[in-house]
Amino acid sequence: MAREIQDHWFKEAKRQGYRSRAAFKLIEIDDKRRILTKGRRVLDLGCAPGSWTQVAAQRTAPNGIVVGIDLQVVTGSFRGSPVHLLQGDAAELSDETLEELGLDPSSPFDVLLSDMAPSTTGSRDTDHYGSMRLCNLVLDLAAMRLSSGGDLIMKMFEGPGSKDLLERARSMFETVRPAKPKASRSVSREMFIVCLKRSKSIAVDHIRDELAGGPPPLTGGWGS
């Protein structure tokens, strides 16, 4: 039965033209929370292979903007709002790069998306703490790049450190809710946290300094 369910999402992605089954995770979350509304500016962290970017472009059309960034090259066309694709480390996204895309860096994004996961080592503990560090870096970026009142959808893995991560998210957002989409693999420890309405008062100077020091690269999601 589990294999049949997984095959269902894979086949549906092919049938509907999505780049991976991960699209349905975002669709289910957004159907409930209504985050990707028309005209919103979206930053998709670790966007490869592009399925979340597809969903964001479709749902924010016609006047939204989606910027996707990943260490991997992401190519192809996207229907809906304009999409800008960048290859590189999301932690190093600069104002200059946004200006080169024709975007005003003083205008923060309305939505941050992250389906990122660390490169796996085979060690459950190592991989878990790698994921926790990625999630904290995403929150750092939310403090810097997300508008007051903006929203975040982020993948995390349940385990040690999860409680502290959720507490940090709650200190930054008005509402934080867990989500376990039906398209997630039954054996996966992944879950998603939906963070709504970023607080106005978040200190970012020390975060900018830490990121400038060279954090480990953020890796793409690839629809796990």
Contact 114, 153 (CB under 8 A): yes
- Give the pLDDT mean for 90-101: 96
Residue 124: pLDDT above 90?
A: no
> 223 falls in which pLDDT band (50, 70, 90)?
very low
Cβ neighbours, 10 Å, residue 42: 27
DSSP 56-94: HHHHHTTT-EEEEEESS---S--SSS-EEEEES-GGG--
Q: Tokens for 138? A: 């995403």
DSSP β-ladder status, 146-157 and 190-198 = antiparallel
Residue 31: pLDDT above 60?
A: yes
Cβ neighbours, 10 Å, residue 180: 14
Domains of the chain, start order? 22-212 (3.40.50.150)
Give buried/exposed letters for 132-143 (b at 16+ CB in 10 A, else e): bbbbbbbbbbbb
pLDDT digits over 38-55, tens only? 999 999 999 999 999 999
- Give the pLDDT mean for 190-211: 74
Give dist(CA 77, CA 26) in Å, integer.
19
Give dist(CA 85, CA 38) in Å, integer.
20
- Give the pLDDT mean for 83-107: 96
- The letter for the amino acid at 67 is V
pLDDT > 70 fraction of the chain, expressed in percent and rounded: 85
Instruction: Tell the residue number behind the tokens 């946290």, with chain if given.
Output: 193
DSSP secondary structure code for residue 222 in this structure: T
pLDDT digits over 59-76, tens only? 999 999 999 999 999 999
Known catalytic residue at 155: yes
- Give the pLDDT mean for 198-221: 56
Helices 124-145 and 205-212 meet at what angle, rounded to 10? 130
What is the pLDDT, as a whole number, of residue 197?
Answer: 97
> 211 falls in which pLDDT band (50, 70, 90)?
low
Q: Pick the catalytic residue: 155, 163, 182, 197?
A: 155
- Give the pLDDT mean for 120-133: 76
Residue 4: pLDDT above 80?
A: no
